[in-house]
């Protein structure tokens, strides 16, 4: 049975014989078939999301409205489910009217079931391709910051970040974006640029930590021909490239003090000078900056200029780490799942209950970037049934609380061989010892399995049994 044969088909027809015929034909092929005889009720169910079929087969003549009117209404509601219209007339005008209304195909009575099956499978394939294209398009838009309304995050903390980003986007103030590595600082910076008046101009991003100090100045300011060995031609710097637009300086806390002084001068005078030139050039650039460092601490310890900090930090946006916005995990993994299944051409059902429990229990120190990498790995490693299991995830721990994993500070005091003077059975002793070793290893299953001299699948089975007994 192919992947399309697990799809849901909604049949809208008041003819009981047609209903029975389609059920008898499609159900043995693995399709789920739902029957309705009231088109208006279907409209209500679709709009309230009570039903979500993959394909709709609709008769042309219905009690409340025609199949063409039904199709037109669903399209006006923004519902893109493929609709196949069954018609008793063979006129080309009816077919054209159905297609114009938004129908994917039409079938003429008497129904040729094999032909209908081909139409259904084509409609499903078309819907899958459309969905995959939309996912890829959204992924590119989010990466480039061109999709501010689609930035993924529904937690109160992240909504507060995006609300502030929208409010400051139209200003000309320099903005500082704080947050741990991997929280999405560049995504927010691009969104600010694209929501503001500079959206049609360039957004130029530079990671200050990724370029050697000796090259950073020429990268930012450009240079004249012959100004140093290897300068065989002139080159404009990123300040000039971003003229009229936005320059995003990521990891600005890594800049040396001399280069900090030169950037401060640019912010004060709005002019730059290429290396090897005496001519100053006026620029109009909005500066957005970010770092995972605590710049206030860097200022206090003399590693970052206080005057530059205040110039950059006119408005501060601080992105909370992923561990503080757990509500964002599910929409993020849903998006990454679609993205990487499309990119790798792998059909994925989703995550098992156990793997989701591990994902939610983990603290994600690498934040969204680490989550994205974990989902990509899981998609690539998942089995042929398309279900992502715990062994497909990185070995980031069983998800015990920090307090539990830290409680084993003195193994000698942990009563693994006796409990309240009661003799323990072998099974109880084994399970308690597994828990003890797992907590000692801070939840790392690979390390625990090696130490216990058992394979990882056996460890998973034992842990599952322990969890069931606990409940």
Whether 437 and 374 map to the same domain: the answer is no
Whether 429 and 301 map to the same domain: the answer is no
End-to-end CA distance of the chain: give it in Å, rounded: 37
Crossing angle of helices 113-144 and 185-195, in 10° steps, is 90
pLDDT tens sequence for the chain (471 residues): 444 446 899 999 888 888 889 999 999 988 989 899 888 888 888 887 788 889 999 988 887 888 889 999 988 888 888 999 988 776 777 778 888 888 888 888 888 888 899 989 888 888 877 776 666 665 665 555 444 445 788 889 998 999 999 999 999 999 999 999 899 899 899 999 989 999 899 999 999 988 888 788 888 998 887 666 666 677 888 999 999 999 999 999 999 999 999 999 999 999 998 888 888 899 999 999 999 889 999 999 999 999 999 999 999 999 999 999 999 999 899 888 888 887 787 888 889 988 998 898 888 988 999 999 999 999 999 888 889 998 898 876 543 333 333 433 344 444 444 444 455 666 777 778 888 888 777 778 877 887 787 877 778 878 877 764 444
Domain end (from 320, 346, 376):
320
Whether 165 and 308 map to the same domain: the answer is yes
Domain extent, residue 339, equals: 322-396
Whether 436 and 355 map to the same domain: the answer is no
The β-bridge partners of 34 are: 10
What is the rounded CA–CA span in Å between residue 34 and residue 36? 7
Whether 178 and 78 map to the same domain: the answer is no
What is the rounded CA–CA span in Å between residue 238 and residue 465? 59
Q: Which residues, 6+ apart, have CB-to-CB distance to 328 below 8 Å?
A: 152, 153, 154, 155, 158, 322
Tell whether 183 is covered by a domain: yes
Tell whether 336 is covered by a domain: yes
Tell whether 69 is covered by a domain: yes
Tell whether 173 is covered by a domain: yes
Whether 242 and 231 map to the same domain: the answer is yes
Burial group, residue 156, by CB count within 10 angstroms (0-12, 13-18, 19+): exposed
Whether 182 and 301 map to the same domain: the answer is yes
Q: What is the CATH number of the domain that holds 176?
A: 3.40.50.300
Whether 385 and 442 map to the same domain: the answer is no
Whether 374 and 430 map to the same domain: the answer is no
Q: How many domains does the structure of the chain reveal? A: 4
Closest CA to 340 of 380, 293, 395: 380
Tell whether 469 is covered by a domain: yes
For the chain, state the CA radius of gyration: 30
What is the rounded CA–CA span in Å between residue 124 and residue 54? 7
Tell whether 138 is covered by a domain: no
Q: What are phi and psi of 291, to 5 degrees?
A: -165, 155
DSSP strand E in 96-174: where?
105-108
Tell whether 137 is covered by a domain: no
Whether 315 and 170 map to the same domain: the answer is yes
Q: Which helix (H) or strand (E) holds 215?
A: helix 213-221
Tell whether 142 is covered by a domain: no
Q: Residue 400's pLDDT is what?
A: 37
Whether 154 and 252 map to the same domain: the answer is yes
Q: What is the CATH number of the domain that holds 17?
A: 3.40.50.2300
Domain end (from 331, 361, 396):
396
Domain end (from 320, 347, 366):
320
pTM of the model: 0.57
User: What is the residue-wise DSSP string for 313-345?
Assistant: -SEEEEPPPGGG-GGGHHHHHHHHHHHHHHHHT
Whether 199 and 312 map to the same domain: the answer is yes
Q: Residue 442's pLDDT is what?
A: 72
Q: Cis omega (within 30 of 0) on the bond before 110?
A: yes
Q: Are 283 and 272 in contact (CB under 8 A)?
A: yes
Q: Are 103 and 57 in contact (CB under 8 A)?
A: no
Please give the distance of CA 110 from its chain centroid, rounded to a whole number: 46
């Amino acid at each position: 049975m192919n992947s399309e044969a697990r799809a849901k088909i909604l049949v809208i027809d008041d003819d009981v014989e047609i209903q029975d015929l389609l059920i008898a034909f499609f159900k043995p092929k693995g399709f789920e078939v739902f029957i309705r005889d009231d088109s208006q009720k279907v409209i209500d169910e679709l709009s309230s999301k009570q039903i979500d079929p993959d394909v709709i087969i609709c008769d042309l003549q219905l009690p409340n409205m025609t199949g063409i009117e039904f199709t037109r209404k669903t399209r006006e509601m923004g519902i893109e489910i493929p609709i196949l219209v069954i018609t008793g007339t063979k006129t080309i005008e009816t077919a054209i009217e159905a297609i114009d209304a938004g129908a994917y195909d039409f079938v003429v009575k008497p129904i040729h079931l094999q032909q209908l099956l081909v139409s259904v499978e084509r409609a499903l394939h078309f819907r899958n391709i459309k969905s995959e294209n939309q996912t890829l398009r959204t992924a590119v838009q989010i990466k480039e910051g061109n999709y501010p309304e689609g930035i993924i995050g529904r937690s109160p903390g992240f909504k507060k970040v995006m609300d502030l980003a929208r409010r400051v986007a139209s200003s000309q103030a320099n903005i500082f974006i704080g947050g741990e590595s991997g929280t999405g600082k560049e995504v927010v910076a691009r969104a600010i640029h694209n929501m503001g008046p500079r959206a049609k101009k360039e957004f130029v991003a530079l990671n200050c930590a990724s370029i050697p100090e000796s090259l950073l100045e020429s990268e930012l300011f450009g240079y004249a021909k012959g100004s140093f060995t290897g300068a065989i031609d002139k080159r404009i710097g990123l300040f000039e490239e971003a003229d009229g637009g936005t320059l995003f300086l990521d990891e600005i806390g890594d800049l040396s003090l001399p280069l900090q002084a030169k950037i401060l001068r640019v912010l004060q005078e709005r002019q730059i000078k290429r290396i090897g030139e005496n001519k100053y050039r006026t620029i109009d650039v909005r500066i957005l900056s970010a770092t995972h460092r605590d710049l206030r601490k860097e200022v206090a310890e003399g590693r970052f200029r206080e005057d530059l900090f205040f110039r950059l930090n006119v408005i501060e946006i601080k992105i909370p780490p992923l561990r503080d916005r757990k509500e964002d995990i599910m929409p993020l993994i849903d998006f990454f799942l679609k993205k990487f299944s499309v990119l790798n051409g792998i059909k994925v059902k989703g995550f098992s209950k156990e793997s989701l429990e591990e994902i939610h229990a983990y603290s994600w120190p690498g934040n969204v970037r680490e989550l994205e990498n974990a989902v990509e790995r899981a998609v690539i490693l998942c089995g042929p049934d398309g279900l992502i299991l715990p062994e497909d995830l990185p070995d980031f721990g069983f998800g015990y609380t920090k307090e539990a994993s830290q409680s084993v500070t003195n193994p000698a005091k942990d009563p693994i061989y006796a409990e309240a003077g009661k003799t323990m059975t072998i099974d109880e002793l084994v399970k308690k010892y597994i828990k003890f070793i797992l907590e000692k290893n801070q939840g790392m299953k690979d390390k625990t399995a090696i130490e216990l001299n058992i394979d990882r699948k056996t460890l998973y089975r034992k842990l599952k049994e322990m969890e069931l007994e606990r409940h």
